[in-house]
A and B are shown apart, each in its own frame.
Chain A
Amino acid sequence: NAGVTQTPKFQVLKTGQSMTLQCAQDMNHEYMSWYRQDPGMGLRLIHYSVGAGITDQGEVPNGYNVSRSTTEDFPLRLLSAAPSQTSVYFCASSFGQGANYGYTFGSGTRLTVV
Chain B
Amino acid sequence: GENVEQHPSTLSVQEGDSAVIKCTYSDSASNYFPWYKQELGKRPQLIIDIRSNVGEKKDQRIAVTLNKTAKHFSLHITETQPEDSAVYFCAAGGGYQKVTFGIGTKLQVIP
Contacts and interface: CB of A to CB of B under 8 A. Distances in A.
Interface of A: 33, 35, 40-45, 48, 50, 56, 58-59, 90, 97-108
Contact of A108 (B1, B43, B46, B99): B43
Interface of B is mostly: loop
A99 B96 contact: yes
A96 B101 CA distance: 19
Interface of B: 1, 6, 9, 31-32, 34, 36, 42-46, 49, 89, 93-104
A106 B44 CA distance: 9
B99 A103 contact: yes
Contacts of A98: 93-97
Nearest to A99: B93
Contact of B93 (A43, A100, A104, A105): A100
Instruction: Indicate the member of B1, B94, B100 with the most A CB atoms within 10 Å.
Output: B100
Contacts of A48: 98-99
19 contacts: A42-B6, A42-B102, A42-B103, A42-B104, A43-B104, A44-B101, A45-B98, A45-B99, A48-B98, A48-B99, A56-B98, A98-B97, A99-B94, A99-B97, A102-B34, A104-B46, A107-B42, A107-B43, A108-B43
A95 to B, nearest CB: 12
Given A42-B103, A59-B1, A103 B44 contact: yes
